[in-house]
Amino acid sequence: MAEPEGALALVAGTGALPRLIAEDRRRRGLPLLVVRFEGTSAPWAEGMDVLDLPFEKPGRMFKAMREKRVTQICFAGAMTRPKLDPLRLDLKGVALIAKALTLLRKGDDGMLRGFASIFEDEGFRMVGAHELLQDLLAPEGVLGALQPSDLDREDAARAATVVAALGAVDVGQAAVVASGVCLGVEAVAGTDALLAEVARVPARLRVGEAKGVLLKAPKPGQDWRLDLPAIGPDTVARAAEAGIAGIAVSAGGVLILGLEETVAAADAAGLFLWGRAPDPQ
């Protein structure tokens, strides 16, 4: 567990992860400032110390963080890329706008590294969700009642190769493969969109008997402080709707948001859930 060093600013996106971090901080009595950018819904933060602001006001944000004695920053949860309005910029925003516009044209990891460097230049330390909640990282081994078949394991290996290739160009962290055929890959719309796409793949494009495997893994060389892949009960529900056989995640490199609930959902849906040992780099 990362040692507390002053207050933590939690830049909250959607999903369960920021809520889990905030609840853990509150339970342990550790200081927390929740930052909600305009357009982000995080109703669980009501009653907490919250800073609501538009993306165009970084000067206001940094000032508030220093007043709250923030030393650490964590990005958690999904966020859409903002459309910046130059007319709303504060003075700090004017100084950063050229860099911000360049970063918004990069892949997710490149973009987040760039925005992290802006916080670091202001004297804050970036920490990853996995440092704050170490027990969220997927353990190795089959996690539920169902075992992946030999063919499922082959499909997971093929999907891992696909994900590594995608990650090398900073595109996505997930793919679905069935009988060696890639049915879909994750892009900017995320895993739910990938699984919805897989559900629409017609039978004439499928080969063999395998239903398919969703594989999630970090990108090669990814900064683990930023946007580690994650799954949870909702992922299981979308996977079941897509008609695949199960989910494989890179053990130690993917967050499981509610392990017991996710395993129970997989068992109930008839899907396997497997913490696959990562391939040697």
pLDDT at 3: 45
Q: Cβ neighbours of residue 168 under 8 Å, at least 6 residues apart? A: 219, 220
Distance CA(149)–CA(67), nearest Å, equals 55
pLDDT at 150: 97
Torsion sign over Cα 62, 66, 68, 72: positive
CATH assignment, 137-276:
3.40.140.80
Domain residue extents for the chain: 7-132, 137-276
Q: Cβ neighbours of residue 20 under 8 Å, at least 6 residues apart? A: 133, 136, 257
Which one, of 68, 23, 69, lies nearest residue 48 by Cα?
23
33-42, 105-114, 125-134, 268-277 — which is least confidently predicted? 105-114
Write out pLDDT tens, residues 32-60.
999 999 888 888 988 899 999 998 999 99
Average pLDDT over residues 129-141: 93
In sequence order, which ranges of 200-270 are alpha helices (DSSP H)?
233-242, 259-269
The model carries a pTM of: 0.85
Class of domain 7-132: alpha beta
| pLDDT tier for residue 5 given thresholds of 50, 70 and 90 | low
pLDDT at 82: 80
Computed over every residue of the chain, the mean pLDDT equals 91
Distance CA(126)–CA(116), nearest Å, equals 7
Write out pLDDT tens, residues 147-183.
999 999 999 999 999 999 998 898 889 999 999 999 9
Strands 246-250 and 213-216: parallel
